[in-house]
Amino acid sequence: MPRPAARPRPPVTTALVAANVAVFVAMGLSGASWTSPNTAQLLRWGANFGPLTLGAQPWRALTANYVHIGIVHILFNMWCLWDLGQLSERIFGRWTYLLVYTFSGLAGSLASLWWRPMSVGAGASGAIFGLAGALITALYLGKLPFPKQAMQRTLRSLLTFAGYNLFFGAVAAGIDNSAHIGGLLGGAVLGASLAGSLTLDADGRAQRQKFVFAGAVLALVLGAAFVSRSNHYVVALKNAQDALMRGQPQAALPDLQKLAQERPNDVQVHTLLGNAYSQMKDYPRAEASLRRALNLSPGNEGAQYNLGLLYLQTSRYQEALSVFSPLRDRNPKDADLHVLVGESLSGLKRYSQAMNSYRLALAFDARSASAYLGMGKTQLAMGDSDAALTSLKQAAVLDASDSDIQTELSKTYAAKGMKAESEAAAQKAAELEKASPANP
């Protein structure tokens, strides 16, 4: 008895799965985490991120569809793609299917850029949801010559897939449901537009599809223009953020002042503006900006953190403690918050409690130079210059570029009567301060 002919392997689906897997393997071999790659690794490989995609790197809207956030993410997506892709390839044909997949992925990226422009997005799920949406509308409207029961069963399966995964994306943390919705809607519109061509002859089908995809390209261009106009501010926001990270508040200030006028209710803008004023030691304006941010969002930890730093910089130690203690209690394993609580307590001359905070910081991060610096300063204030010198030397080993450490070393050497060492540390502190990005 002759064997039944084997079903041919779907070439486009196979190629898409292979491309996704190849990118993931290349990421892993380059040093990215196989289970949870960090933001820098995702961006290096083309993830979607508003300040970059809406700026000079619009290609990320496409490449993000081939980047995945760990082994579980890609396994689930490739399982769905293999299942939906084979059906799509049979229904639409190879090239039409590839175009539907690509269009849906781009639609998902645009939806993400519109809804969550400051979030990093990656994965094929927007394109996969697009396949589901296209199949649902095409099968429902296309009058294809399939048995009615089989058609109904397939539609129920597709609707269940879309509904369940949208619900899961809505309740689970860390899932970009906006990309799912964008891909699903984009695919559904394409499927509905293509449905009438599925039963035409080859020439009629090709002619109809040309019009459909010409319209799809126009829709993408218009959508991209709308998203760019709506959210292009994130480019200036990220540039300002980067300038502040480099210690260059003067470079960040013009953008932030303009954004504060354009977006008076944006918490992040006012928080960064407060940070810029603090770095410039314009403390009244810094406090006004940070309080504005907290009025808009009373529980915003970024604004609270920056306000606490301002209190430390202005020697308002009790107010600093009132900010950092609740933050530490909510984030008990954050070594930096333990250090800041320690600095606040030390400023209040509660030295024993300050030392406990620094020890807790080191318990969570044994390489915290700031914890050793705080310990050294507190030990010197307590009159224990030997212990202070040991702590500060350890801080200098962990962070050789911190001028504050060298300044405290200079004070400690002076307290011990070690004049030459004190002068050498002071000179090094001056050199480090001069080389700082904040002093170009």
Residues belonging to the active site: 125, 180
Quick one: residue 200, left, alpha or beta (phi over 0 = left, psi -120 to 50 = alpha)?
beta
Determine the Cα–Cα distance for residues 153 and 81; give it in Å rounded to an integer.
19
The length of the chain is 440
Instruction: Tell me, rounded to whole angstroms, the distance of Cα 315 from its chain centroid.
Output: 34
Determine the Cα–Cα distance for residues 325 and 268; give it in Å rounded to an integer.
22
CA quadruple 260, 266, 267, 272: dihedral positive or negative?
Answer: negative
DSSP secondary structure code for residue 266 in this structure? -
Tokens 């910089």 correspond to 313
Q: Which residues pair with 121 in a beta bridge?
A: 48
Three-class SS of residue 121?
A: strand
Phi, psi for 121 (deg, rounded to 5)? -125, 145
Tokens coding 64: 């993000």
Name the amino acid, one letter, at 356: N
Tokens coding 411: 């004070």
Tokens coding 71: 């082994």
Neighbour-count burial of 333, counting CB atoms closer than 10 A to its CB (0-12 exposed, 13-18 middle, 19+ buried): exposed
Tokens 């953020």 correspond to 241
Cβ atoms within 10 Å, residue 313: 14
Q: Which residues contact 276 (CB under 8 A, 6 or more apart)?
A: 240, 244, 249, 252, 253, 256, 286
Determine the Cα–Cα distance for residues 204 and 225; give it in Å rounded to an integer.
32
